[in-house]
Amino acid sequence: MSALSVRSIVCVVALLCALASTTAVRADGDADEKRPKITYDDQIRPLLKRRCASCHSGDRTEADLDIANFVALMQGGGSGSVIDAGSADESYLFRLVNHDDSPEMPPNGQKIPSAEIKLLRDWIDQGALENTNSKAKKRKPKADLTKVSANPNARPDVLPALPKLPLEPQLWTQRKSPIRAIAVNPWSPIAAVSAPKQVVLFDTETLAIKGVISFPNGNPEVLRFSRNGSILLIGGGVAGDSGIVLMWDVAKGRVVQTIGDELDSVLACDISPDHSLVALGGPKKVVRVYSTEDGGLLYELSKHTEWITAIAFSPDGKNLASGDRNGGLIVSDAETGNENFDLAGHKAMVSSISWRIDGKILGSASEDKSVRIWEMKNGKQIKNWEADGKGLTEVCFLPGGNLLTTGRDTNVKLWQQDGKQLQTFNGLSDMGMGLAYCASTKRVIAGSFQGDVLVWDQQKPESSGQLNSNPPPISERIIDVQQQLSAARQRFNADQAKLQNHDVTIEQVATEVIAFENKFSDMQKKITDARAKIASARQDNQVAKAKLKELLSAEDANDSAGEQGEAKSNQQRKQLKAHRRLIKQLQQQLTVLNNQTVAWDGVATAAKSRIADLQHETGRLNDSRKPMADQLETSRAEVNRLNAVLQFWKSEADFAKGAKARR
């Protein structure tokens, strides 16, 4: 029997059982009777005429758009269709009026009143009816969501991968907001973190931002990846006003289906493993289950007595667990909505539920401080323990069967199923909010009430990084990088000047070394020449002294030789006098040469000592040059890095601008 036939039969059974106060109520997917029917003729035409007719009606149809006629409005204008019946968020006209796209309408920069925006949204979401006799056409999803492998929990043949996405945030605030939800793709290193008006995507390995998903419907309260990782479910809305669930295709990078039309924010939701069902709930105390085939409501679960705070399909898609703010925990048949188990035990809000990968065990966490483990054969509790002394907010089964929890005591803890604590991950600044495990990188990710999101390696208690849930606008990033780049260039210039001055000093020392080496060489030459002259002078002196001695002997002989000897003696006296004068000159010359040699030797010794000092200084300067050169290369690399970062963010700014224009 086909799933459609089963659902048709169940519809009849459910309608009959409603008289007996059954907890499962079927619906046929038509418009909710609780909501008034909004039509173009009655409400929308007057609104558009009042706000847009001056530019888009009659003779003035700027951009070829005429809002005064239903057929013309539905045909669109020069830019194509402007109304996507069934989805305001995908309707170009609504995005312009809601200032999600440009050019913003009206062109005066101010939105029309929020009540009118809501009226326009509700009209489009209800099917853009022309009049009270019109019927909304069933809106087909933009993708075949039912193409899931026979085993949705098995590793897919093609791993989910993100396309290039805009990194421009939809909203940036001075202070971070509480982290309402975190989800990690089961097969790829992709983390999704909630923030006001948006979901921020990160690479869990590099921790780099990978994209921003707009959620103009309010605040995302819950994020869930499908079992095969191809769909990210985003549920949320505006408290007391509206709630919706978006099905975002990971590979295509866009919303492919819009589910629900709540009168309050969606606080819990999940998608079945085969992508055929989406369950959601919130303050209205009712769990609604929709078909992804046409977005129609299939049935409601109305046994809960308080806000729906947790919803999860079992891994095999057969069971649907739901928890509420009063401690109620119910497991229903996912196909029919019939109750399987009423799991009584929690004394306060069931804040989170998680299925073990085999679907045989359900884990639940509560503000009553306890984790409870339930088996699904008989619906019995098999274990419970106090996991947080102040109250739990999250529980998460790991693929191997262990559990992660976080709560008001600011810690993230890893447990065995028997309640034995294995690890504590610390560092959160406030109550833990949002918890996920990345199987691809074996990392734990958790957020806090203060808005910080920390990442831990599974084996280490200290955080290894964090994710920025409140990324600044790209323009601010560019300014920041430009300032960093300016400072980096100044450091580079200073380091370059320092190295250049150092090299000048080295050259100066080298020049001085050469000068002193030349001086030493010159002194050595002079000393050598002087010593040669001293040797020659000494030899001459010896010769002169010998000659003098000879002359003295001859003079003595002549003194005894009479007149003839007297004459000869006079001649010899002249020679003696000349030799004595020569000897004196030679001795003076020797004294001068010796003094010069001593002086030159001192100069040479001083030059040699200075050369040694300068060589030592050269070695020291060369040794100190390397760290300066390394620092210069570091500064150069930082300038190059920041230049690349600047170009990256400039290109991202252009891409984001182009993406906005294409929407």
Phi-psi domain of 92 (left: phi exceeds 0; alpha: psi -120 through 50; beta: other): alpha
Contact of 392 with 327, CB cutoff 8 Å: no
The predicted pLDDT at position 559 comes to 58
Q: Mean pLDDT in each 10-residue stretch from start to end of the chain (663 residues)? A: 35 34 40 68 89 73 78 78 83 84 74 89 89 74 59 83 93 93 96 97 97 94 96 96 95 92 96 96 97 92 96 97 97 96 96 96 97 96 94 96 96 96 95 96 97 95 95 95 97 96 94 90 87 83 78 66 60 73 81 86 88 92 94 97 96 86 59
**Which residues are 291's β-sheet partners?**
277
Place of tokens 């008289």: 19
Contact 236, 280 (CB under 8 A): no
Calculate Rg over the CA atoms of the chain: 47
Torsion, CA 227, CA 88, CA 297, CA 302, rounded to 10: 90
Neighbours of 423 (CB within 10 A): 16
What the block records as the tokens of 27 is 């619906």
Reading the block at residue 320, the tokens are 């649907």
Residue-wise burial string across 244-255, b where 16 or more C-beta atoms lie within 10 A, e elsewhere: bbbbbbbeebbb
Instruction: Determine the pLDDT at residue 574.
Output: 78
Spatial CB neighbours of 541, under 8 Å, sequence gap ≥ 6: 583, 586, 587, 590
What pLDDT was estimated at residue 275? 95
Tokens 């769990």 locate to: 287
CA distances from 85 to 140, 597, 656 (A): 10, 112, 26
Task: Please provide the DSSP assignment of 171-193 as one string.
Answer: ---SSPPP---EEE-SSSSEEEE
Q: So what's the pLDDT on residue 498?
A: 95
Residue type present at position 362: L
Question: Can you say whether the dihedral through the CA atoms of 299, 304, 305, 310 is positive or negative?
Answer: negative
Q: Which residues contact 504 (CB under 8 A, 6 or more apart)?
A: none
Q: How far apart are CA 193 and CA 183, in angstroms?
A: 7
Crossing angle of helices 45-52 and 114-125, rounded to 10°: 130
Residue 602: its H or E element: helix 562-662
CB of 200 closer than 8 Å to CB of 209: yes
Distance in angstroms (rounded) separating the CA atoms of residues 440 and 456? 13
Q: b/e for 298-320, b at 16 or more Cβ within 10 A?
A: bbbbbbbeebbbbbbbbbbbbbb
Q: What is the pTM of this model?
A: 0.71
CA pair distance 73, 68, nearest whole angstrom:
7
Contact indicator for 246, 258 with CB cutoff of 8 Å:
yes
String of b and e for 464-496 (b: at least 16 CB within 10 Å)? eeebbbbbebbeebbeebeebbeebeebbeebe
pLDDT at 572: 66
In whole angstroms, give the CA distance from residue 351 to residue 395.
8
Going by their DSSP bridges, the two strands 350-355 and 361-366 should be labelled as antiparallel
Residue 218 has what DSSP assignment?
S
- All domains of the chain in start order, with CATH: 31-125 (no CATH), 477-662 (1.10.287.950)
Q: What is the pLDDT of residue 482?
A: 97
DSSP letter at 395 equals E
